[in-house]
Chains A and B, each alone.
Chain A
Amino acid sequence: MTQQVAERELTMSRAMVEAIKQEMEANEEVFVMGEDIADYGGIFSSTTGLLDEFGRDRVMDVPISETAFIGAAVGAAQAGMRPIAELMFVDFFGVAMDQIYNQMAKNTYMSGGAVSVPMVLMTAVGGTYSDAGQHSQTLYGTFAHLPGMKVVVPSNAYDAKGLMHSAIRDDDPVVFMFHKRLMGLGWMPSPEGPKNTVPEEPYTIPFGQADIKREGADATVVTLGLHVHRACEAARELADEGIETEIIDLRTLVPFDTKTVVDSVRKTGRLIVVDEDYRSFGLTGEVVARVAEHALDDLEEVRRLAIPDVPIPYARPLETALNPSAKQIADAIRDTQ
């Protein structure tokens, strides 16, 4: 039994669902709501099978009214329950941003700590399949920039399960951003990597611990989500040329693991930050700034790869040109040597 469990591989979506299911079994106060999450099982399969197991009281389809149901999750959380609300595409955040950043994220602080908001806002991010500017953004930086919410971005099934357990048990609001391309959906092929070994029993991964996916002395690539896999592809190619790349998967943006990043740059001297979010005033700038604050003397070269401040276009050649590729990552690393 134990051996079988250890070898089990899951897609990221199945790993997320398993964590939610186990938390729902363990705690009657956990429930899920969102658009198309019951019968449909979430359009990115983030809630598949939960309706059959828990029924409509705990797995609720809601009206297309993000302000109402995300706000309702805030209210239920403040009443002590542990809601998980799905914002179908992160791009729809604008419809409900007041509930997200003025209520969900601020109520703890503005109540002087008298109120807590133990909820998870899970949401699909990312492009690479021609869904254009209102359905393809990542917006990591937007959510991490506004104070009061923890921001989680898993890159594989093992992390997704552990981080989801942590997210549901956390007493603060957690924004759980999953990349569509990593979910293992039949209709949107994933790269190699996100489907991996996942223990059956519940386990947690603490927030604020980046994962060193690969060790190397020549350059540090800091990234997250889909681009962990693109960076690994680039690193494999460069290893053949004798360049050893260290790859850091941030896993959570709030809290942010400054130490792992800084220690790596102290070793390599070369920092490449890769992000699928917009370039200016965002994640790439933040990472570079932190390294500059803590290890300026060790920093020899810096490169940033991100979406160059352009809404995500529809046509394939346009979207492909903007979204950092494995080749562009490899070129950037070479360029620092």
Chain B
Amino acid sequence: MYDNMVTARYYEERLQEEYLEGKQPAFDISAGPIPGELHLAAGHEASGAGVCQHLRDDDTVTGPHRPHHIAIAKGVDLKKMTAEIFGRETGLCRGKGGHMHLFDPSVNFACSGIIAQGCPTAVGAAMAAKKRGLDSVAVAFLGEGAIDQGGFFESLNLAQVQQLPVVFVIEDNDWAISMPKDRVTDVKDGSMRAKGHGMPGERVDSNDAIAVYEAAKKAVSRARNGNGPTLLEVQVHRHMGHFMGDAEAYRPDDELERIKKLDPIPRLEQDLLNEGVDQSELDEIRTKAHERVDEAIAWAKEQPEPEPHEALEDVFHNPPEEWVEAANMAAAQEGDD
């Protein structure tokens, strides 16, 4: 868990550096080595790591548009994920998805750029497991802003009436871009929403990563043992803006200072040291994690960009004949150029 958290933190720091290259001094979203938007999750690590620690490759995770820490904890291939973020041909999605839309079926990870829309698909994965008599579970991660969406309520209801092995994990960072939670959401404690559905709900602070781990353990085993869904809310803290380039004029001046004191990583380090883990062991884990990240980024940047004609591929798994002809023609034209 510590490994996943320090990997995710350093990964986000490195992505931030790479992202800003070429976008400064005048921020231009379409410039630089990483195209498009970038939503970083520094400060959220304990929820991804604490929950995914209980999961196997055959368990499904759906992530939100701020997915990296969850993907790392779920075991998504770091190199291929990075190549995807850099828009390369060898990326997880061959350059079609980008950072908000990572798909790694080998570990059953997917995410969506549309708020709360990973909830129904997680329910579907759980439904498939139950129908097949398997003991795999599904976990849907979403932000606290997403719990006002119909897709979320409908998923809780469906999961509960069918007693499906799902865990819903709300990452509450208090902000939906510029909208503070108390202005747009009527419950202070999102896990309370479980009550209306008669399912267990628990809220835990990510500052204490071990508490997240313990709460997730209960929820995941409940699902795995056939006892139905759980709603978990993790209070996390977003160290960065909603997206890179966000000026954050809406954020109170002292908030960042306050939440940085609630960083789960130093606290977990201290907890581990208190448990008798040697400092050198933590240092080694961190060094290796950083090496792995640097290696993934270096590898990704060496990967080729996709050829333009590849834009016509992957629309269908079983493409109609006319479609194949069009794609072949585009490839041939490129060859001529």
Contact = CB atoms under 8 A, between A and B. Distances in A.
Contacts of A38: 178-179
A40 B98 contact: no
A129 B32 CA distance: 11
A197 interface: no
Contacts of B97: 132-133, 314
A91 B101 CA distance: 14
A95 B146 CA distance: 12
A63 B185 contact: yes
Interface in B125-178: 145-146, 148-151, 176-178
Contacts of B26: 186
Contact of B114 (A134, A319, A321): A134
Interface string B82-103: 0010011101010111101100
A63 B145 contact: yes
A125 to B, nearest CB: 16
A64 B310 CA distance: 35
Nearest to B323: A309
From A130, A188, A320, residue with most partner B Cβ within 10 Å: A130
Give the dominant DSSP class at A's interface: loop
Contact of B96 (A39, A63, A135, A314): A314
A52 to B, nearest CB: 12
Contact of A317 (B114, B185, B308): B308
Contact of A315 (B29, B95, B115, B326): B95
A310 B315 contact: yes
Interface string A117-132: 0000000000011111
A318 B315 contact: no
Contacts of A319: 311
A151 B331 CA distance: 37
A316 B308 CA distance: 9
A315 B245 contact: no
A187 B29 contact: yes
Nearest to B26: A186
A317 B149 contact: no
A134 B100 CA distance: 9
A314 B98 contact: yes
Interface string A265-294: 000000000000000000000000000000
A92 B117 CA distance: 11
Contacts of B30: 128-130, 188-189
B177 A43 contact: yes
B146 A318 contact: no
A68 interface: yes
Contact of A40 (B93, B178, B245, B306): B178
A36 B179 contact: yes
20 contacts: A39-B179, A39-B249, A40-B249, A63-B184, A64-B149, A64-B176, A91-B114, A129-B35, A131-B37, A132-B101, A132-B113, A133-B96, A188-B28, A310-B311, A314-B35, A314-B36, A315-B88, A315-B306, A317-B305, A318-B311
Interface of A: 35-36, 38-40, 43, 61-65, 67-68, 91-92, 94-95, 128-135, 186-189, 308-311, 313-322
Interface of B: 26-30, 35-37, 84, 87-89, 91, 93, 95-98, 100-101, 112-117, 145-146, 148-151, 176-179, 183-185, 245, 249-250, 305-312, 315, 326
